[in-house]
Amino acid sequence: MTQKLKLVQTQLGKTVQLLGDQTAISLLHALTTAQRFSQLEQQLHVSTKTLSQRLKLLEEQGLITRTFYPEIPPKTVYQLTTKGKEFLSLLQGLIEWEGSWE
């Protein structure tokens, strides 16, 4: 197997894994506007641990950013990056494609 093919499989694998993660997809949809952690918890109805894990994963993949504001009380805001917005656009295209074949 060539190095280029291995790279494509690795990159595609990450995308397919993300597409299969309903919590991550719901989280990305919720972040079409900037949100605080508590707002996301209320909207998604997932455990604190699961939400924290998905936010970390999406941040590591460059799909969201986390901004900390050192105020009283401190707040952290999450929002989509350009890459995250493009991913949502791709996802919408897949949904439309699937709908056209039903």
Asked if residues 37 and 78 have their Cβ atoms less than 8 Å apart, the reply is: yes
pLDDT of residue 11: 65
The pLDDT, as a whole number, for residue 16 is 62
Domain map (residue ranges) of the chain:
3-100
pLDDT along the chain (102 residues), means of 10: 60 66 88 94 93 93 93 92 92 84 78
Q: How far apart are CA 78 and CA 32, in angstroms?
A: 10
Class of domain 3-100: mainly alpha
CA distance linking residue 44 with residue 2, whole number of Å: 42
Rounded to 10°, the helix 22-30/82-100 angle is 120
pTM to 2 decimal places: 0.79
Q: Are 91 and 97 in contact (CB under 8 A)?
A: no
Q: What is the pLDDT of residue 95?
A: 81
Per-residue confidence (pLDDT) for residue 73, from 0 to 100: 87
